[in-house]
Amino acid sequence: MPIATSRQDRTFVITLNRPEAMNSIDPEMFDQLTAAWDEFEHDDSLFVAIVTGAGPKAFCAGRDLVKSAADSSADWSQRRSEGRLTPEGIWKPVIAAINGHCLAAGLALALGCDLRLATPNATFGTMAARRGIVAGGGQTQRLARYIPFAIAMEMILFGDRIEANEAHRVGLVNRVVPQEELIPTAMAWAARLCENGPLALQAMKQAAYDGGLDMPFREGMRMEARLYTQVMKTEDAAEGQRAFAEKRPPQFKGR
């Protein structure tokens, strides 16, 4: 199976599972990835997702160009709008555990996540200019917003890769950790997120993306206030305050 999924408590782990092809995305993987994101979004028992790649060499090397070149019907990018490469529009937190090369569509996938951990051997690049195509899946838009603009333009226009330490320096990834610590660190981060109120996390993620990136400041402030009011009416908000007063960990239910 090109996509493997597993659950640990409230954490959903999605593994790109074509290590023999550097976890490049073929049509079957794209369809299964779409299904995995849909499952995560609609299962209220799941609070956090982790996406990673099988093997030590690659998170995802992008679209499977070998298959696409041999058979144009294998080019899933022509029907990108029919599926889901990234967790776009899912307000639950998502962690990318980047174990090696993270290129092209793989970079788009990682950029679509909220937190990014990388191993020292990870590399990051759009590669599109070298292929005579446009870096899609949000690569141009997110790079231009997430890292210094001049560095984003270097990555986009030259199609060069940057190493993990440089990606960390410019803010593309949150941490660089040894290979053997990647998944344990991602799971530990997920466990910490699961301790927080899931409705609050979802509302704040939406406020940051929709308000912080898309709206003028005053409009974003109004959106934040609206979400604040909505969450304050939930059982979780009441539980958080009771737990603080009673000096105990909160038991959030997502309602």
Tens digits of pLDDT across the chain (255 residues): 899 999 999 999 999 999 999 999 999 999 999 999 999 999 999 999 999 999 999 999 998 877 766 666 667 777 777 899 999 999 999 999 999 999 999 999 999 999 999 999 999 999 999 988 889 999 999 999 999 999 999 999 999 999 999 999 999 999 999 999 999 999 999 999 999 999 999 999 999 999 999 999 999 999 999 999 999 999 999 999 999 999 999 999 999
- All CATH 1.10.12.10 domain ranges in the chain, comma separated: 197-246
Tell me the three state secondary structure of residue 50: strand
What's residue 173's pLDDT? 98
- All CATH 3.90.226.10 domain ranges in the chain, comma separated: 3-194
Sequence letter at residue 109: L
Burial 37-65 (b: 16+ CB within 10 A, else e): beebbeeeebbbbbbbbbbeebbbbbbbe
Q: Does domain 197-246 have CATH number 3.30.110.70?
A: no
Predicted model pTM? 0.95
How far the first Cα of the chain sits from its last, in Å, is: 35
Count Cβ atoms below 10 Å from residue 153 Cβ, excluding itself: 13
What's residue 71's pLDDT? 65
Q: Do residues 157 and 128 touch, judged by C-beta distance below 8 A?
A: no
Multiple choice CATH, 3-194, 1.10.760.10, 2.40.50.100, 3.90.226.10, 1.10.1200.10: 3.90.226.10
What's residue 69's pLDDT? 60
